[in-house]
Chain A
Amino acid sequence: MTSGAAAVAQGHGHRDDVGAKLGMWLFLFTELILFGGMFIVYAVYRFSHPTEFHVAATELDTLVGTINTIILLTSSLTVAMSITAIQKGNKWLSFTLVGFTVMLALAFLVNKYFEWGHKFEVGLYPGSAILLNKPPGEILYFGLYYVMTGLHALHVIIGVVVLAGMMMFIAKDKITRHSYVRLEAGGLYWHLVDIIWIFLFPLFYLLH
């Protein structure tokens, strides 16, 4: 990326950042389709059980969802800014911004933990007697709620690990202003996690 004239990379020797990013984007597509499969399930069930989905959604706290949305959007901002920082050679600013992203991600998870915990307290979890007594559409809604937000949370956790790795690379000068494609790839992953949430949020929390 220094000169940008990477030509056709010939394997060993030349670096090809565009190719590396291409590979990362292809990976993101697989993640997109992975969640896409669940969006298909959601669409079909919401289509066949519209009122029950509305009723079930009232159990969710819009405020918690909104706060988590703001947290994730902000974390996307900081990780994006960390790339500008490294491009400008501000190693420690970049390090701090990624660190900030990690903290926000952890805050998101803490929020999620309490949210799920509360659902468990009131007996709304897969297989619980209270849930099983509800109409089928509500069982499906909560099934999807747990699976989709759960898998998303798992991606947040993976993201935390990835970003922590990026901090290490920055600290050890493995990521520098001349070679930062790894940070870009890590950032891309994090933005995807954010985008998935951008869709999950209205689909589950804003159904009133």
Chain B
Amino acid sequence: MEHHEEQKHHGTHVISYGRYLLIWLGLLSLTGITVALSGLDLGQWIIITAMTIASIKTLLVANIFMHLKFEDRMFRVFVLVAVVTLLIFIVLTFFDYAFR
């Protein structure tokens, strides 16, 4: 993270309509899958599968719709920092609740 973010530069990146539509279709199918799975009796697995699917959807939206994939690496590092921070907050809170 020296200071290459100033020097290295991506040009204008135009994403085609087709690619967007493809991603959109992917998001809709994932929605369908997660709704369908909720009808099954998965017990404790339901939360894990649902969150996994939601995370995949988020990755699609962030990478393509939000252009994260085409931005400077610094942006992805920052997103990671923010998400990891939130996860740490949740995990550490459960050091209390999971062991009550």
Interface residues of A (CB under 8 A from B): 1-8, 18, 21-22, 25-26, 29, 32-33, 36, 39-40, 43-44, 47-48, 62, 66, 69-70, 73-74, 76-77, 79-81, 83-84, 87-88, 184, 187-188, 191, 194-195, 198-199, 201-203, 206-208
Contacts and interface: CB of A to CB of B under 8 A. Distances in A.
Interface residues of B, number: 51
Contact of B39 (A2, A202, A208): A208
Given A44-B97, A203-B50, 19 more contacts: A4-B12, A5-B9, A18-B9, A25-B75, A25-B79, A29-B78, A32-B82, A32-B86, A33-B86, A43-B90, A44-B94, A70-B28, A76-B24, A79-B65, A83-B15, A191-B61, A198-B61, A199-B54, A206-B34
A40 B58 contact: no
Contacts of B93: 40, 43-44
- Main SS of the interface on chain A? helix
Nearest to B89: A40
B86 A206 contact: no
B78 A26 contact: yes
A40 B35 contact: no
B5 to A, nearest CB: 7
A33 B85 contact: yes
Interface string B36-66: 0111000000100011011001100110111
Contacts of A32: 82-83, 86
B46 to A, nearest CB: 8
A206 B45 CA distance: 13
Query: Which 9 pairs, one residue from A and one from B, show the smallest C-beta to C-beta distance?
Result: A206-B38, A202-B50, A29-B82, A77-B24, A36-B86, A80-B65, A4-B11, A4-B9, A8-B6
